[in-house]
């Protein structure tokens, strides 16, 4: 291993983790784009390997957010005006919370397209159904649409069960050359295409439209680089910090038209056997969300492409998409992964 990538919330983070682990890599990367970071780190690692800058890059993530938060559990940070670097102050004076930002996107989506709380709730219900067969999932008891829409409102129109869990967790993957991978005992998965984009930093007031995320920019680019269309995707791992995040993402990646995300995710559309099997591990809504969930999207996509996903295995899965969303819908990063030699 000669390359190392990870990220977290202090400067020179990867350097610090490398020191702790006793690593002296010749390639390192600590790009932090929030929840989408690990899709970006894998994209960068693929370029580095392709260019010969490194042969074997370890991409890793660990967080003890649940253990560390203790009594501060609640709105996923933000809200006190405490973390407001530079211009972020303009949106930080109003008592808005992280949940509140996504709630405003949900409210706007409902206004423009008639999306209903029940359609949003369907996302949480489907993720929970997948989580039921994941022994590592944080929440596994079945829930109904009624359970979601009658759970406590955190920031209208988002209820408690529209919000992801808060977890401890970690994961890793290795990016290397096709030649090196051929020597390994496990079947390789190929990075077929990747791209990332940003619309704003922490100021939601700077997002051009609350119903169009960076996925609309990077998704089509990643698909074109992979030479696929949305119809070619067998299984998706889409960042689900909140139910609305998934509705916006399926639209912006082109799995349905803008405004039709509510109907697309309803009635089991995201479940195995449905329109687009999504978050087959239970997602951030039920399985695990330690702050930056992007790594788990990759882990589950690889399991699907290797046929190792257990009860939620999608039959004959050949192409998987992992799409991370970071910040306040600020960043998006799409990875198209394939289980066959491209």
* Contacting residues toward other proteins, per CB under 8 A: 71-75, 79-82, 87, 89-97, 99-100, 103-105, 107-108, 111, 152-158, 165-166, 203-206, 210
Burial of 53 (0-12, 13-18, 19+ CB in 10 A): middle
Give the nearer residue to other proteins in terms of CB position, either 59 or 158: 158
Give the nearer residue to other proteins in terms of CB position, either 24 or 72: 72
CB of 95 to other proteins, least distance (A): 3
The closest alpha carbon to 121, from 252, 242, 28, 40, belongs to 242
CB of 244 to other proteins, least distance (A): 11
CB of 237 to other proteins, least distance (A): 23
Give the nearer residue to other proteins in terms of CB position, either 32 or 203: 203
Q: List, as one string, the DSSP characters of 294-305.
A: HHHHHHHHHHHH
CA distance readout (Å), 37 to 198, 238, 241, 326 = 12, 13, 14, 7
Q: Are residues 124 and 162 in contact, defined by beta-carbon separation less than 8 angstroms? A: yes
Q: Within 13 Å of residue 258, how many CA atoms lie on the same side as its CB?
A: 10
Q: Are residues 102 and 242 in contact, defined by beta-carbon separation less than 8 angstroms? A: yes
Give the nearer residue to other proteins in terms of CB position, either 7 or 286: 286
Q: Are residues 240 and 279 in contact, defined by beta-carbon separation less than 8 angstroms? A: yes
Give the nearer residue to other proteins in terms of CB position, either 66 or 309: 66
């Amino acid at each position: 291993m000669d390359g190392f990538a990870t990220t977290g919330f202090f400067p020179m983070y990867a350097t610090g983790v490398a020191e702790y682990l006793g690593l002296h890599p010749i390639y390192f990367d600590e790009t932090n784009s929030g929840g989408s970071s690990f899709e970006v780190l894998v994209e960068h690692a693929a370029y580095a390997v392709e260019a010969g800058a490194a042969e074997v890059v370890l991409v890793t993530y660990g967080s003890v957010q649940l253990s560390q938060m203790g009594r501060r559990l609640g709105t996923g940070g933000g809200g006190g005006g405490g973390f407001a670097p530079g211009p972020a102050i303009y949106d930080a004076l109003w008592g808005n919370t992280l949940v509140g930002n996504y709630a405003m996107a949900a409210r706007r989506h409902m206004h423009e397209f008639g999306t209903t709380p029940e359609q949003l709730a369907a996302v949480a219900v489907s993720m929970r159904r997948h989580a039921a067969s994941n022994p590592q999932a944080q929440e596994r008891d079945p829930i109904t649409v009624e359970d979601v829409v009658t759970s406590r409102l955190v920031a209208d129109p988002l209820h408690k069960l529209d919000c992801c869990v808060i977890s401890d967790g970690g994961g890793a993957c290795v990016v290397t050359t096709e030649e090196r991978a051929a020597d390994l005992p496990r079947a390789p998965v190929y990075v077929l295409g990747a791209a990332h984009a940003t619309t704003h930093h922490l100021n939601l007031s700077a997002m051009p439209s609350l119903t169009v995320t960076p996925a609309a920019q990077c998704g089509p680019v990643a698909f074109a680089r992979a030479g696929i269309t949305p119809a070619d995707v067998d299984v998706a791992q889409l960042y689900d910090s909140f139910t609305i995040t998934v509705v916006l993402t399926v639209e912006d990646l082109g799995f349905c038209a803008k405004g039709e995300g509510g109907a697309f995710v309803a009635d089991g559309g995201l479940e195995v056997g449905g329109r687009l099997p999504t978050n087959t591990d239970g997602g951030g809504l039920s399985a695990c969300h330690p702050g930056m969930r992007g790594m788990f999207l990759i882990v589950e996509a690889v399991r699907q492409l290797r046929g190792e996903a257990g009860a939620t295995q999608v039959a004959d899965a050949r192409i998987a998409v992992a799409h991370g969303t970071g910040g306040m819908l600020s960043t998006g990063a799409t990875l198209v992964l394939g289980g066959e030699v491209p």
